[in-house]
Amino acid sequence: MKTVLITGAYGFLGRFTALVFKKHNYRVIGIGHGQWGSECPEQYGIDVWLESSINHLTLRSIQEDLFCVVHCAGGSSVQSSLENPLEDYEKTVSSSIAVLEYIRVFHPKSRFIYPSSAAVYGSVANRQIDETFPVTPISPYGYYKNIVESLGRSYACNYDLPVSIIRFFSIYGEGLRKQLLWDACSRLSVDNKNAVEFYGDGTETRDWIHVKDAAELIFCCAISESKYECVNGGDGVAITNKRLFDLLSFEYGRGGSVAFNGLGRDGDPKYYWADISKAVALGWKPQISLTEGIRRYVGWYKSKVTR
């Protein structure tokens, strides 16, 4: 049985990634921080759980042969990187160089898989973005992701490590307790009379990918034979925020209850739309439409959070 190490395995993407590898009969070692409470790591396919920061000492204690390392640990939002740039740097960049060095020294044939972000592209026009698009981040979050991508390319070039970079666009799904959908549901559940107001004018676009599809793309990269690859992770469809909130409020039973204030937010580009041709060429394609994904998310929120 092959073994995979997933950093940040307690987190949203890490949990679903562990489940996908377990489904394919891999042994999963998870490392990170988090209080599982009534849940347990085994529920998410994690065979061994290490409660620790991502550092050389802890990594060196893992002496099993590794098929790959999926490095999900790191900063998770533009806003937190703006508020605490040093902390976000440590979480994202410092942990990544520790993982790369661990692989180089102890597991030189193991693949390094990094869930990066479309934030590396920065502010772009309303057009589809492929992986050759210039990288011009505008937030600390995007800059740090770009640094890790550069480190990955360096280790691939200088040490012949197999590396996969996935530039995920907007990941969502049941269990995500932060960011736009969580905020929207939280506010819709509290205010039953007034229109809930959000930033922007509603014409902003995002490319949403369900977390289960994201985890499947990670697995496809894990079994890839390419020495180095960088692919976009999205649905390949640009959805306006107005359309998104229409779907959300409809599923929530509050149609027409969303308004926009016309104001932008620091670090948030107006348009994002992924060209996913390279990801599809790996044998992957998204399975969960946004309409279905929103239905699932609202159903989860109502049953798990508001009950």
Q: Residues 236-278: pLDDT tens digits?
A: 999 999 999 889 888 887 665 778 887 877 778 899 999 999 9
Q: What is the mean pLDDT of the chain?
A: 93
Checking if the pLDDT of 294 tops 80, the result is yes
Residue 306: per-residue pLDDT: 65
Q: Do residues 177 and 280 make contact, with C-beta atoms less than 8 angstroms apart?
A: no
Q: Which two tokens stand for residue 67?
A: 């098929």
Is the pLDDT at 44 greater than 70? The verdict is yes
Half-sphere exposure of 283 (CA within 13 A, CB side): 9
Say what the pLDDT of residue 261 is: 85
pLDDT at site 252: 83
Residue 44: name the closest of 80, 72, 86, 74 by CA: 72
Please write the tens of the pLDDT for every residue from 116-148. 999 999 999 899 999 999 999 999 999 999 999
**Cα separation of 118 and 140, whole Å?**
13
Instruction: State whether CATH 3.40.50.720 applies to domain 3-172+208-236+275-287.
Output: yes
At 191 the pLDDT is 62
pLDDT for residue 307: 59
C-alpha–C-alpha distance, residues 17 and 44, integer Å: 9
Q: What average pLDDT does the segment 82-86 reach?
A: 92
- State residue 267's pLDDT score: 77
Q: CATH 3.40.50.720: which residues of the chain?
A: 3-172+208-236+275-287
User: What is residue 187's predicted lDDT score, i.e. its pLDDT?
Assistant: 82
Q: What element of type H or E holds 280? A: helix 277-280
Indicate the pLDDT class of residue 10, thresholds 50, 70 and 90: very high
- CB neighbours of residue 253 within 10 Å: 10
What CATH number belongs to 179-205+238-273+291-304? 3.90.25.10
Within 13 A of 259's CA, how many CA atoms are on the CB side? 6
pLDDT of residue 64: 92
Flag whether pLDDT at 190 surpasses 80: no
Highest-scoring range by mean pLDDT, 26-40, 73-87, 92-106, 173-187: 92-106
Which band of pLDDT confidence, cut at 50, 70 and 90, is reported for residue 53? very high
List, for residues 193-227, the tens digit of each pLDDT value.
Answer: 667 788 888 999 999 999 999 999 999 999 999 99
Start and end residues for every CATH 3.90.25.10 domain found in the chain: 179-205+238-273+291-304
